[in-house]
Amino acid sequence: MTEIETGRSAPRRWRGQEPEDRRAARREQLIEAGLEIMGTDGAAATTMRATCRQAGLTERYFYESFASRDELLVAVLDRVVLTARDTLITALQTSPTEPHDLIRHVVRAFTDYIARDRRRGKIMFVESQSVPELAQRGEQLVKEFTAPIAASLDRLSGDDTRDKVTSQLNSIAIFGALAFLYQHWLTGNSRISKSRIIEHISLVIEAQVNVNSTPDPTR
């Protein structure tokens, strides 16, 4: 028996799996295949045919899950960035209260997330800006990722004179610093230890905490 369902017959169970479970499993295979290609060869190489070959599925199953290659690229980017965001949020919820320790706890959690699978850093910090198809979603995801950073910076500063623009600019500045620092660290040419990159990024964040460009209403 094969998995192919033909004619007008209703979808049937196959090897104990319902049709919707098989579809979900195939979609997951395609996302994993896209993540592999995008995280190694880049977004431009992540074509429909290359993804199908990597996943061991036919084009028919690609279009069962995705209307286009663009949808696949966005799904892969979402997987990486939203999981990174959730990693930050979880780390913030379980962090120590002392600012010095809090920053290092969160940076360590995020660095571990990147270090466990270096494809994630390439997708998040490099490939997300590499093709036009990802530009709009990439911008949205930057906001998703920087929101918890902005909230934590406000919490650390304890300065109630800061406006929202200051928080946003500081979080974007930190995201930019993270992008270039992790990109350098993940290239494979760097001999910088994980403990050193954690400490350096923590110091960068500490320096950014007190940056406040809120206009003075008295001037």
Say which amino acid occupies 59: E
Average pLDDT, 10 consecutive residues per value, the chain (219 residues): 43 64 94 97 96 96 95 96 92 91 94 94 88 86 84 79 86 90 81 93 91 83
Task: Categorise residue 15: left if φ over 0, alpha if ψ from -120 to 50, beta otherwise.
Answer: left
Q: What is the pLDDT of residue 7?
A: 41
Domain ranges of the chain: 19-69, 74-209
Identify the CATH number of the domain defined by range 19-69: 1.10.10
Identify the CATH number of the domain defined by range 74-209: 1.10.357.10
∠ CA(88), CA(92), CA(93), 5° rounding?
120
Q: What is the pLDDT of residue 2?
A: 40
Q: Are 76 and 35 in contact (CB under 8 A)?
A: yes
Q: What is the pLDDT of residue 17?
A: 66
pTM strictly above 0.85: no
208 in helix, strand or coil?
Answer: helix
Q: What is the pLDDT of residue 27?
A: 96
Q: Are 141 and 182 in contact (CB under 8 A)?
A: no
Q: What's the rounded Cα separation, in Å, for the pair 166 and 215?
A: 10
Q: What is the pLDDT of residue 219?
A: 67
